[in-house]
Amino acid sequence: MASLLLAVIYLIFISLGLPDSLLGSGWPVMQTAFGVPSSYAGYVSMTISFMTIISALLSPKFIKKFHTKWIVIFSIFLTVLGLFGFSISGQYAMLFLFAVPYGLGAGAIDASVNHYVANNYSGSVMNFLHCFYGVGAVISPYIMALALKYARWNEGYRWTAFVQIGILFICIISLPLWKKNEAGSDEDDIKNSAGIRETLKVPGVILTLIAFYAYCAGEATCFLWTPSYFAGTKTDLSKELVASFGSLVFGGLMLGRLISGFISNKLGDRLLIRIGIAVELVGILLVFIPTPGYLVAAAGFVVIGTGMGPVYPAIQHMAPTNFGKRYSAAVIGLQMASAYVGSTFMPFVFGHLQQAVGIFIMPLYLLIFAVMNIGFLELTYKVIKK
């Protein structure tokens, strides 16, 4: 039964990844349809992320009050509502209305399932879990590309919503698996878990939040602006090909987490993060190289994603070890909120920056956050050691 539940959890993370790459893949066409500047994608992305921050901050209370399974069911329902809403949006302003359930669903499911896995499974399982997030995020740009080829961008959101409904149905029929697994879980740890204010006073917590913010600032910028980077720096590319570039970083993430799943228990979370960020820096260097074609830059974004792959799950998995199980739910909730602060504001900032200077500055922007990420993590380790 435990293995069946783990399969369902992997499927849940596919559903979590599905909505995340749709906006970036469809935006070059959506922008034209709505008649708005390219930077306006940042406003929609910021709204989605802001709602995710709210649900992530509330997640410790949700986890104490509700079982993870009910948080998952309701969260997937909210993302389905958001996806269908985007599919019927005929005006730019309508996107903001449906960005609310879109974002609320993502934050609650992310924090609750990460907390559940961090406290019940190994680092290997955590990496494989986030690898399946990459599977979902890789699939949706191709759904959008097919929609642009055979229908409209609206259908890309609608078709993705149908896939989410299928996953939601599987989650509902799997509810008895959670009940059997929860019989052996430590309910006292959940009931006695610390709150947000108390957790913020724990040494090292704020430093790890800044590191997580920096990681997700770079990651979210890639998610939203990679197709636009190719549209703005390369010539003679079809709109379907540009949309498919939204899967480059996600494909790299999936590969990085797949590899990490096999080696994480041997290397440990800290070494895995250091190796990952080193690989990410190599990818940024490849994107820096000026070439007339798109292949080198495309390879660079795949390498960036591969390097980023182990960072997110490793930071989440370290929470109980670094700060204790009493604080793990609040730490993970805070990490999610901090991450989505980066996801909310930094792609938005980049949107205006690239509009003023040019989208060619994207690799430099990513470099700044990669350095911040590793720098603040190393400071965290030193504080925890003391």
Q: Where are the alpha helices (DSSP H) in 21-122?
A: 22-34, 41-65, 68-87, 94-120
Q: In the structure encoding, which two tokens stand for residue 280, read together?
A: 């990410």
Percent of the chain clearing pLDDT 90 (strictly above):
17
Q: What is the mean pLDDT of residues 329-339?
A: 80
Q: 114-141: buried (b, 16+ CB within 10 Å) or exposed (e) per residue?
A: bbbbbbbbebbbbbbbbbbbbbbbbbbb
Question: What is the pLDDT at residue 253?
Answer: 83
Provide the 8-state DSSP code for 357.
Answer: T
Res. 184: pLDDT tops 50: no
- What residue ranges do the domains of the chain occupy? 2-385
Q: What is the pLDDT of residues 248-268, one digit of tens each?
A: 887 888 888 888 888 887 888
C-alpha–C-alpha distance, residues 358 and 67, integer Å: 47
In this predicted model, what pLDDT tens digit does every residue of 343-370 receive, in sequence order? 778 887 888 888 888 888 999 999 999 9
- Whether 126 and 328 have beta carbons less than 8 Å apart is answered as no
Residue 156: Cβ within 10 Å count = 28
Q: Would you state the pLDDT for residue 369? A: 94
3-state secondary structure of 291: coil
End-to-end CA distance of the chain: 42
What is the band of 183 on the pLDDT scale with cuts at 50, 70, 90? very low
CATH superfamily for 2-385 is: MFS general substrate transporter like domains (1.20.1250.20)
Measured between alpha carbons, how far is 264 from 27 in angstroms, rounded to an integer? 36
Does the pLDDT value for residue 189 go beyond 70? Answer: no
What's the whole-number mean pLDDT along residues 317-330?
77
Measured CA to CA, the distance from residue 303 to residue 283 in angstroms comes to: 5
pLDDT at res. 283:
95
Mean pLDDT of the 30-43 span: 83
Query: How many angstroms separate the Cα of 72 from the Cα of each of 78, 106, 133, 237, 291?
Result: 10, 10, 15, 39, 45
Three-state secondary structure call for residue 361: helix
| Residue 192 confidence (pLDDT) | 59
Radius of gyration of the chain (CA): 20
Candidate ranges 30-39, 194-203, 209-218, 325-334; pick with highest mean pLDDT: 209-218
pTM: 0.73
| Among 257, 371, 383, residue whose Cα is nearest residue 312 | 257
The stretch 314-337 carries a mean pLDDT of: 79
The tokens describing 266, both together, are 């041997």
The predicted pLDDT at position 152 comes to 85
Q: What is the pLDDT of residues 268-319, one digit of tens each?
A: 888 999 999 999 999 999 988 888 888 898 999 999 999 998 898 888 888 7
What's the whole-number mean pLDDT along residues 120-134?
Answer: 76
Burial of 19 (0-12, 13-18, 19+ CB in 10 A): buried
CA distance 304 to 276: 9
> How far, in whole angstroms, is CA 351 from its chain's centroid?
19
> Is the sign of the CA dihedral 167, 168, 174, 177 positive or negative?
positive
Amino acid sitting at position 64: K
Least confident of 105-109, 151-155, 214-218: 105-109
Top-confidence residue, 68 or 276:
276
pLDDT at 26 > cutoff 90: no
pLDDT of residue 64 exceeding 90, the answer is: no
